[in-house]
Structure 1
């Protein structure tokens, strides 16, 4: 027994020795330790020790035992980053919010670097010269430091650059002609730059150039013939003080007319205080007159504008809502409003009188916001080019859709059927769509969609789609048009799935290519939508949430994916195959801590949903469970009944018997 125990001890010691040797043999191990010794005076890097694998240290990620990602933000690190320059396989380096100082050392070894964030430090010196050789760089953030000198024109060598932030530094001189077609985020505000803004950068917002008092040109004020330069203010003579030569011999001889002499005489006699009072008085009088005219004309214009707008909306919506519901000719059946749950809330005439606002156009028609006379607000969708076999089939299908009630599904309240017009009335959702939250107002001033909210939205949307799939087993209902514009948010911020169950009315037509980028491979060639194709579309939606990329962007040449035509799932798969998963994620998510495991987990769910073979994709019920398992997301009230619709209090198998 003693021998066995001793042998175990020896093996443990040997294992520990071999592991320490292996770590010490890592090409990047010593560099990281040297960096920690020099920079971590506050002892924040507590997991960085010689007894553990450096690839498990906080902020360190590796590929094939080489450091590929180093994210050390807001850790009060200081000194120089020189020891890190030997990490030749780095792809992401983020040192934001520390106290690093001095000049940035040569970064020419970082040939694989794609993301470089050095903002909110104390770096000095000129623009790092070697940065221009990092040809793979996508994001460069040097903001909130003490860099000085001029911005070099060599930044044009960074042909893959998407972000260039140099704001809040001490840069001087003119902005060079920067011609980077992929540049999305540009900011040089808060420097000492001068001259005219290059036309290639005039498309960025005014905030990108603010607090540079000597800059001019679009989007700032138009440049004068001779733009102001730093230090030239004192050379401008006051118009109220005559210019006097220092020597009578150098005074120029000019011919003065009697008129100019009398003008000079009056000007010399006029007290500057009186002149200033006259100018101020004129300005005040002019301001009062302008204000009165503005109020008078604006009141008339506003009232007339409202009348014209209301008339225009009424005329256009009358066509939309009625489409000859009261035909003068015989042989036509007058349509009627049909309400669910036995409650009749308004007549068709109420819709005709309602003020209307177009919300958007989709694959199944145009949606409108209608405000009724009693103040109620509804959403009305006009089905356009719907291929409906007959009134009975339409009514039976609407009966099925109208009985679906779930907290994550937009409820269908009523419908209208006439020979030439079909309208669907839904609950109105007052907040934005997932599409707008992800892609709207990209650029300076945007409020990014945080990770917790993204996860909550996709969890709610998954529950809604799963309930639709299980709401009528005999029909196997499908959504048929899952995309980010059809994920709406109610007043509490909960996800609501809209536009469901309408793909049955779409036949082989140009609309068959609707929502390109979301459709499953088997559905693109005109085959009927299925629940498995819904799962594929939902997987693309998850990838859209994770990457921040719009799936439909590939229709414009795929510029959002580094060039070439490639759909979002294939692009993600190609990146993951290269074992560089972190490059997939939306950069707006990099600011959030301790979410990598959840993002990778959601990425795996999305990739399983977008499997090429339909039978390899999970059911939506299982997708819900996997998403909820990521972070103990609150379980849906009907989580246990998704597989058994007969237990649902809002719908039973009897509801779909008529359409089987």
Structure 2
């Protein structure tokens, strides 16, 4: 017993001695996550660093005063190697205060990531004393003062991002001493002075972002100086929204890797150098809102990779040269507010992928080329305020409203108030009898009186034809009304109404022989087949399924009509069975099928509610520069899409073609999923084509390329792409450094350049919505996981979205396909 007590006494004494050692040497007894003792100097530097911070959320509570676990992974945001701190990573933690100069004592520090906080004060000068520093991420804070020239002393520095702060002063030329620097972002500050020429001379720089400052003077002309091999790797140059003057230097052509150039909203003058046409990798060029003059460079036809060209708001003149058809990747062409003259090149109609074309406020003359009608992807078009003449091609006048053509005094046919006069009838000479010799022809000249009589006769004939058509429609409508004596409109509609198919007044022909069947489902109003077939129609767009029209009925009610492509649908009996099932589906975030019509020649029309704000694609990508889409609106759209998708999946319906073009918005900007269930109406071959088309737009899950079969997991992938589209403002169809949208976002997040991901409109509100953006981004990336099994279900996505933005959640059970719908969203 005595020996046991003696042994216990020795053990306790040893433990007490160890505690004393830990108490008096707080760091020397701790081992790092690699098993090495933490250094005293790094511990003291971290304590000083913590003292100058304001911890609003308690994230630094783990940084205990004894130093226990500083490098064991217990201290939030700290990573060590060989007992020395190599990384401080505390982004999105709402940290205030300032960054201590004592950070310069962390001699092994490689990475400092404190972005998206509320830090104030200057950028520490002592960062320049860190020989191992590789990455500085301090963007989206409230830092002031100047950019420390000492940072140029860091020989291994690769990334310096101080964007979206309140920095002033000039850009230190010494930054070029960091010869490994490949990303420099000082945008959205108040920096002034010239752009240092030293930044143009070292080959490692890949991204130079200096936009939204007060920089002045000319763009340096020394790009690539002294290097004949064009090995400079600069891919993105953004200098927009400054006070830069002078001309565009031709030396930019030496930067053979350039993919994006933004010089817009400056005071640049002079001409566009022809040498720019040598940048064969260039994808985006924005020179808008400057004072650039001269001609449109013919060398631009060599820019085969160009996706977006914006020259709006300059003084460019003369004609646009041919060869534009070589720009087959071009999707946006904006030449608004210049002095271009001559004819609009017909070759523009050969650029099949273009979706935004603005030639307004110039001096173009002649006719609008008929070739522009073949641009199926065109969603934004404007040629207003030019000197154009002649009739507007019918497909363009149906697809775009009158504001796209206004201000051309001799242009006609684009609205009811600008009709084109009918040409006089041609009088063909009669052939002489074969058995009689030919007589000498006498040329008869018509007098002015004859010409007036001929024109009046032709006009009268046209009026009589129109009256006949209107009379036929009116008689049939009255006949249909009489035939419904003793029967409600709903009963008559459910029974199906036979009618003769009559061409609409807008030229959309649905058929021409007796017969046809119209079947109604529940809806806000009932119409007859004659009402539908005699309605005025405007083409809204074309898709793999068919052509969509906006139809205005005689009472002024508007519906959307989709005419399905011939030979792509199933047989009539199977078609009607599936259409009846789709017609019963009702949810506030799904576009309701209100009726369908089967024509006498096999035509198939589907009638839906008309959505006044169009598609999400046009809402995001074809809006004017003054239209801002805030975060609550985007989040509301994301939640609406997800609710609709949850309902479909609970009904065992896979959408299979979820894109921003199939998300329609009503007057309150609520989302409605369109084209759901249509795969059930189509043949297998047609559905394969639909999947392939969605793939080219960037919405398809990777496994679809092999399986060709859509599932709920592929739908969730498409949903993730849509959420990324809302977050970034980028179209998934745009090439981004040879990556699709999910890959591009993942690569940027990996480099901690998160501010480069989000749409600039959202970055303005980062201090208040930063956490919401980050959490939504994480969720979207979860949805687009390459492995289908790793993706969440739609119901899980909805739950997390509502947790991210609880004030937009509705609560309630999701048993019927999503959270309970508030009264104002009900049908």
Q: TM-score by structure 2 length?
A: 0.55
Supply the distance in 1 between the matched residues of 2:24 and 2:606 (Cα, whole angstroms).
Answer: 72
Supply the distance in 2 between the matched residues of 1:145 and 1:342 (Cα, whole angstroms).
Answer: 57
Q: 1:518 to 1:206 in 2, by over 3 A?
A: closer
Q: Which stretch of structure 1 is more off in the superposition, 486-495 or 347-356?
A: 347-356
In structure 1, the partner of 2:608 is: 426
Supply the distance in 2 between the matched residues of 1:118 and 1:298 (Cα, whole angstroms).
Answer: 45
- Is 1:545 the equivalent of 2:726? yes
Q: Which stretch of structure 1 is more off in the superposition, 148-157 or 357-366?
A: 148-157
Deviation at 1:439, TM superposition (A): 3.0
- More relative contact order, 1 or 2 (CA 8 Å, 6+ apart): 1
- Superposition pairs for residues 607-618 of structure 1, below 5 Å? 607-618=781-792
- Superposition pairs for residues 190-229 of structure 1, below 5 Å? 190-191=266-267, 194-199=269-274, 207-210=288-291, 216-218=294-296, 220-221=314-315
Structure 1's unaligned 5+ residue stretches are: 34-43, 225-293, 328-333, 554-559, 650-660
RMSD across aligned positions (CA): 4.8
Give the length in aligned residue pairs. 538
Provide the secondary structure at the position in 2 that maps to 1:424: strand
Provide the secondary structure at the position in 2 that maps to 1:454: helix
Provide the secondary structure at the position in 2 that maps to 1:621: helix
In structure 1, the partner of 2:308 is: none
State the Cα deviation string for residues 479-521 of structure 1 (Å, max 9, x = none): 1210111112211111221111112214135444121132234
In structure 1, the partner of 2:693 is: 514
Q: 1:71 to 1:13 in 2, by over 3 A?
A: farther
In structure 1, the partner of 2:99 is: 48
Provide the secondary structure at the position in 2 that maps to 1:461: helix
In structure 1, the partner of 2:26 is: 14
Provide the secondary structure at the position in 1 that maps to 2:808: coil
Supply the distance in 2 between the matched residues of 1:632 and 1:147 (Cα, whole angstroms).
Answer: 45
State the Cα deviation string for residues 515-564 of structure 1 (Å, max 9, x = none): 113223443346432222212222222333344443334xxxxxx3323x
Q: Which stretch of structure 1 is more off in the superposition, 625-634 or 44-53?
A: 44-53
Structure 2's unaligned 5+ residue stretches are: 1-11, 31-37, 54-94, 107-111, 225-229, 278-283, 297-310, 319-406, 423-461, 467-501
Q: 1:187 to 1:600 in 2, by over 3 A?
A: same
- Is 1:141 the equivalent of 2:210? yes
- Is 1:165 the equivalent of 2:239? yes
In structure 2, the partner of 1:438 is: 620
Deviation at 1:304, TM superposition (A): 7.2
State whether residues 188 and 208 of structure 1, in contact with CA within 8 Å, keep that contact through their aligned partners in structure 2.
Answer: yes
In structure 2, the partner of 1:485 is: 661
Provide the secondary structure at the position in 1 that maps to 2:684: coil
Deviation at 1:625, TM superposition (A): 0.6
Q: 1:431 to 1:638 in 2, by over 3 A?
A: farther
In structure 2, the partner of 1:71 is: 139
Q: 1:66 to 1:130 in 2, by over 3 A?
A: closer
State whether residues 413 and 419 of structure 2, in contact with CA within 8 Å, keep that contact through their aligned partners in structure 1.
Answer: no
Deviation at 1:381, TM superposition (A): 0.8
Q: Which stretch of structure 1 is more off in the superposition, 99-108 or 640-649?
A: 640-649
In structure 2, the partner of 1:408 is: 589
The correspondence for 2:510, drawn from 318, 322, 345, is 322
Provide the secondary structure at the position in 2 that maps to 1:14: coil
State whether residues 503 and 509 of structure 2, in contact with CA within 8 Å, keep that contact through their aligned partners in structure 1.
Answer: no
State whether residues 562 and 607 of structure 2, in contact with CA within 8 Å, keep that contact through their aligned partners in structure 1.
Answer: yes
In structure 1, the partner of 2:519 is: 338
- Is 1:106 the equivalent of 2:106? no
The correspondence for 1:455, drawn from 627, 630, 635, is 635
Supply the distance in 2 between the matched residues of 1:439 and 1:299 (Cα, whole angstroms).
Answer: 29
Supply the distance in 2 between the matched residues of 1:340 and 1:113 (Cα, whole angstroms).
Answer: 61
Supply the distance in 1 between the matched residues of 2:287 and 2:751 (Cα, whole angstroms).
Answer: 39
Supply the distance in 1 between the matched residues of 2:645 and 2:272 (Cα, whole angstroms).
Answer: 50
Provide the secondary structure at the position in 1 that maps to 2:795: helix
Provide the secondary structure at the position in 1 that maps to 2:798: helix
Supply the distance in 2 between the matched residues of 1:382 and 1:551 (Cα, whole angstroms).
Answer: 27
Q: 1:345 to 1:86 in 2, by over 3 A?
A: farther
Provide the secondary structure at the position in 2 that maps to 1:341: coil
State whether residues 613 and 669 of structure 2, in contact with CA within 8 Å, keep that contact through their aligned partners in structure 1.
Answer: yes
State whether residues 116 and 139 of structure 1, in contact with CA within 8 Å, keep that contact through their aligned partners in structure 2.
Answer: yes
Supply the distance in 1 between the matched residues of 2:510 and 2:101 (Cα, whole angstroms).
Answer: 77
Provide the secondary structure at the position in 2 that maps to 1:514: helix
Deviation at 1:318, TM superposition (A): 7.2
Deviation at 1:366, TM superposition (A): 1.2
- Is 1:91 the equivalent of 2:91? no
State the Cα deviation string for residues 220-261 of structure 1 (Å, max 9, x = none): 44689xxxxxxxxxxxxxxxxxxxxxxxxxxxxxxxxxxxxx
Supply the distance in 2 between the matched residues of 1:12 and 1:508 (Cα, whole angstroms).
Answer: 78
In structure 1, the partner of 2:736 is: 561
State the Cα deviation string for residues 143-169 of structure 1 (Å, max 9, x = none): 542533553251797654444225543
- Superposition pairs for residues 569-648 of structure 1, below 5 Å? 569-573=742-746, 584-586=757-759, 589-594=762-767, 595-636=769-810, 639-642=813-816
In structure 2, the partner of 1:82 is: 149
Which structure's residues are more often helix, by fraction? 1
